[in-house]
Copies of this chain bind each other. A is one copy, B any other.
Amino acid sequence: MLVMIAGRGALPGLLSRRAAPGLVAALEGFPPDGVMADVTFRVERLGSLLADLVAAGATEAVFAGAIRRPELDPALIDEATRPLVPRIMAALGQGDDAALRTVIAFFEEAGIAVRAVDEFLPELLPPAGSLTRRAPGAADLADIERGMAVLDRLGPADVGQSCIVRAGQVLAIEGAFGTDWMLESFDRRPDGRGGLLVKAPKPGQDRRIDLPTIGPDTVSRAAAAGLDGIAVAAGGVLLLDRDDAIRRADDAGLFLEVR
C-alpha cells in the first residue's frame, strides 16, 4: 500500500488522482491542499505513526507538497519516538535537506520504501529547451550560468534552491522562507527591474524529497518582481500547470528556459 505524506500546493491533489494512495497522512497544523488527510501526525509521535502505517499495510510512501519545519514540543514526545529523538534533534539543527533525509531514513528503516513524486508524474519534468516565445539572449545565458554556479556552491551548505541574477550580480538567494517570499520582497527592489530567477535542485539532493517546484504563480510573481525570465535545471525542477505557466510567461513577455 502506498502512503502519501501530503503538504501544501497542487502536488497532493495531482498525485492523489494519479497514484491513488491507500492512505494520506499530513502534519498536524499543516492541512494539505486538494486532498483530505486520513491521519494527522506530529513529529514528536513519528515513531507511533510509522508503527501505525506498517500495521495498516504500508509498503511505500511518497512526499508530496510543501511542509514547513515544525516546532518541537519535548513534552509531546511519545514512547515509540523517544529512540529517534537524538537523530531528529541533530537533523533539525541542519538544513532542510538533512532534516528530510533523516525522515526518509526513518521510513525506510521501518520497511516503507520512499518513492519520488516524478516516478508517478513524469510529465511534471519539462524537457530541456525554451518553453516560451521569448528565449534568453546571450547576457541572459551568462546570468543563467552564473546563477547555476552559485546554487552549485551553496548546495553543500544545504541552503537555497534558487537565486535572482542580473548582469552578473546575484541580487538575492533563496533562504528558508522560499522562492515566493524572495520574489515578493522584490516589490521594494532599489534597482528598478531586470534579472532572472534561476532554480535548481541542490547537487546530490535526494530526489524523493522537496524537489524544487515552479508553477503559474511563480511566473506571475517573477513578472511582478520585474524579472525578464525564469531558468530551471533540466530534470530537476517540477513545473506545475505547464500550459498555464507558459501562457502567463508569454503574456508578461518572460522567457521560461529549461537547461
Contact = CB atoms under 8 A, between A and B. Distances in A.
A241 interface: no
A253 to B, nearest CB: 22
Copy number in the complex reads 2
A173 B175 contact: yes
Contacts of A69: 169
Contacts of A149: 157
A157 B170 contact: yes
Given A153-B156, A157-B153, A190 B177 contact: yes
Contacts of A5: none
Q: How large is the interface on A (under 10, 10 to 19, 20 to 34, 35 or more residues)?
A: 35 or more
A170 B155 CA distance: 13
A10 interface: no
B169 A176 contact: yes
Interface stretch (A22-30, A52-60, A89-97): A89-97
A226 interface: no
A150 B95 CA distance: 11
B172 A94 contact: no
Contacts of A164: 175
Contacts of A156: 153
A157 B152 CA distance: 9
A93 B159 contact: no
A173 B173 contact: yes
B168 A93 contact: yes
A17 interface: no
A150 B142 contact: no
B181 A177 contact: no
Contacts of A18: none
